[in-house]
């Protein structure tokens, strides 16, 4: 920072000089204008200012830094939103276990995370089988010492009419979207109890379909499963407060349309998924990973209850 200084109080030509206040040194006093350097001028100064900011965040119990070295379990990490969240958490220094049925897809996500310097482990797990879920939590206990962050992401969407739908599709949606989420949540809480650890954080990937029934025909059965997730989010929050475990947070993230595999695999009768994404405003999995990161970053005193994310320009679902 430089100032034009008049040496004799008057601005006569020849009586002024430029003085760099940052560099000014007065014998016995040093730099009398410390506030003249409000911004760091070198990369080293910028790095030390970032470190100070990070320390302040840590002291306040906020920021992603506090989760570094902690363990996260992400269900449905083989594709879409779960893959984006798992790699993001690994990139932020968490030790991540990703679950799914398709091992080859999980291994692709694992490779990507490791190329980015993150630690991601994967396990084949069918969430409709309780023994698979228990095995995954046991693995996490043996290898990580337990789980600190649970992302209940796995989910299925079947377009199915209530007047004529297939029982198996209804069953699968309830088993994965609701029942598995409850079993994972219970195992996570039991694990924290065993370790006498708080805080921990559970994030349910809900849907706008958890808040209203989309106008898309055949979406009601899916919406019913996601309305259950809304009830489970608030129900668990109250239960944790009542049982003195308020240090454990539960949050939901409720997206509108996101470009993933969900429609390809969801028996979409009315239109091919490419057509849906070509003609409807939508988000990307990374946008939901941003929201997860935000939810995990807020100060201890804040609990994000639910975030509804809709694609900009969406006409309405
Ligand atoms: N995409 C959207 O527009 C949208 C909007 C709102 C909410 N959501 C929610 O976001 C979450 C993720 O969906 P997505 O869009 O990312 O879908 P996706 O691309 O189809 O991914 C679904 C994930 O769930 C896993 N999964 C499904 N059934 C499973 C089972 N029985 N056992 C273990 N894993 C299983 C899949 O893994 P495997 O196939 O390898 O088992 C996959 O990793 C879901 O809860 C969904 O309801 C999505």
Q: Provide the residue range defining the domain that includes 96.
A: 69-309
- Residues 6 or more apart whose Cβ sits within 8 Å of residue 254: 206, 207, 208, 210, 211, 226, 306, 307, 308, 309
Tens digits of per-residue pLDDT, 240-297?
999 999 999 999 999 999 999 998 876 665 567 888 899 899 999 999 999 999 999 9
pLDDT band, residue 42 (cuts 50/70/90): low
Per-residue pLDDT at 30 = 56
In a domain, 103, yes or no: yes
Instruction: Judge whether 26 lies within some domain.
Output: no
Q: Is 118 helix (H, G, I), strand (E, B) or coil?
A: coil
Q: What percent of the chain has pLDDT over 90?
A: 72
How high is the pLDDT of residue 41?
A: 53
Distance CA(196)–CA(269), nearest Å, equals 49
Phi, psi at 33, each rounded to 5°: -120, 60
* Mean pLDDT (the chain, rounded): 87
d(CA 247, CA 118) in angstroms, rounded, equals 27
* pLDDT of 8 higher than 50: no
In a domain, 217, yes or no: yes
Q: Is the pLDDT of residue 195 over 50?
A: yes
**Residue 270, pLDDT score:** 55
CA 20 to CA 36: how far, in whole Å?
9
Residue 23 domain-assigned (yes or no) = no
Active site residue 3: no
Please report, rounded to a whole number, the percentage of residues in the chain having pLDDT higher than 70. 81
Query: 3-17, 127-141, 279-293: lowest mean pLDDT where?
Result: 3-17
The per-residue pLDDT for 238 is: 98
**Residue 163 burial (10 A CB sphere; 0-12, 13-18, 19+):** exposed
Number of domains in the chain: 1
Residue 15, pLDDT > 60, answer: no
In terms of phi and psi (left: phi > 0; alpha: psi -120 to 50; beta: otherwise), the region of 185 is: alpha
What pLDDT score does 116 carry?
96
pTM reported for the whole predicted model: 0.85
Ligand 1 pocket, residue 101 CB under 6 Å: yes
Q: Are 77 and 136 in contact (CB under 8 A)?
A: no
Mean pLDDT (whole number) for 31-44: 52
**C-alpha of residue 139 to centroid of ligand 1, in Å:** 22
Band of pLDDT at residue 119, cut at 50, 70 and 90: very high
Tell me, in angstroms, the distance from the centre of ligand 1 to residue 142's CA: 27
In this model, does residue 2 exceed pLDDT 50? no
Least confident of 33-37, 100-104, 187-191: 33-37
Q: Tell me how far apart the alpha carbons of residues 203 and 205 are, in angstroms, rounded to a whole number.
A: 6
pLDDT recorded at residue 206: 98
- CATH classification at residue 135: 3.40.50.720
Choice from 79, 268, 281, 287 to test ligand 1 binding pocket (greatest atom count within 8 A of CB): 79
Task: Evaluate whether residue 38 is within a structural domain.
Answer: no
Kindly state whether residue 105 falls inside one of the protein's structural domains: yes
- Tens digits of residue pLDDT in 46-66: 777 777 776 766 666 679 999
Within a domain: residue 184? yes
Ligand 1, residue 259: give the atom nearest the CA. 1
Cα of 80 vs centre of ligand 1, distance in Å, is 7
Q: How confident is the model at residue 29 (pLDDT cuts 50, 70, 90)?
A: low
Is residue 80 predicted with pLDDT exceeding 70?
yes
Q: Residue 11 contacts by C-beta under 8 Å, 6 or more apart in sequence?
A: none
Cβ neighbors of 303 (< 8 A, separation 6 or more) are: 237, 249, 250, 251
> Residue 3: left if φ>0, alpha if ψ -120 to 50, beta else—which one?
beta
The pLDDT of residue 31: 54
In a domain, 41, yes or no: no
Nearest CA to ligand 1 atom 6: 207
């Amino acid at each position: 920072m430089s100032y034009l200084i008049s040496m004799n109080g008057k601005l006569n030509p020849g009586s002024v000089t430029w003085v760099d206040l940052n560099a000014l040194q007065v014998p016995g006093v040093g730099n009398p204008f410390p506030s003249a350097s409000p911004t760091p001028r070198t990369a080293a100064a910028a790095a030390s200012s970032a470190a100070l900011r990070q320390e302040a965040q840590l002291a306040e119990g906020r920021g992603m830094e506090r989760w570094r070295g902690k363990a996260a379990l992400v269900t449905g990490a083989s594709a879409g939103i779960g893959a984006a969240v798992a790699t993001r958490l690994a990139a932020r220094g968490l030790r991540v276990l990703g679950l799914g049925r398709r091992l080859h897809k999980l291994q692709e996500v694992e490779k990507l995370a490791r190329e980015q310097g993150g630690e991601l482990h994967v396990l084949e797990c069918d969430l409709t089988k309780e023994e698979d879920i228990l095995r995954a939590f046991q693995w996490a206990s043996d290898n990580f010492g337990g789980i600190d962050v649970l992302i209940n992401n796995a989910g299925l969407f079947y377009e199915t009419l209530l007047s004529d739908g297939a029982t198996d599709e209804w069953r699968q949606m309830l088993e994965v979207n609701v029942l598995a989420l409850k079993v994972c949540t219970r195992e996570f809480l039991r694990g924290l109890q065993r370790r006498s650890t708080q805080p921990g954080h559970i994030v349910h990937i809900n849907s706008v379909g958890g808040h209203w029934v989309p106008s898309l025909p055949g979406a009601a059965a899916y919406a019913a499963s996601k309305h259950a997730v809304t009830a489970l989010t608030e129900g668990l929050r109250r239960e944790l407060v009542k049982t003195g475990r308020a240090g454990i947070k539960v949050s939901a993230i409720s997206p509108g349309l996101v470009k993933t595999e969900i429609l390809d695999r969801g028996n979409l009768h009315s239109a091919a998924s490419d057509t849906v994404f070509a003609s409807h405003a939508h988000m990307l999995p990374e946008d939901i990973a941003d929201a997860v990161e935000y939810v995990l970053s807020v100060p201890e005193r804040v609990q994000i209850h639910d975030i509804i994310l809709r694609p900009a320009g969406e006409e309405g679902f």
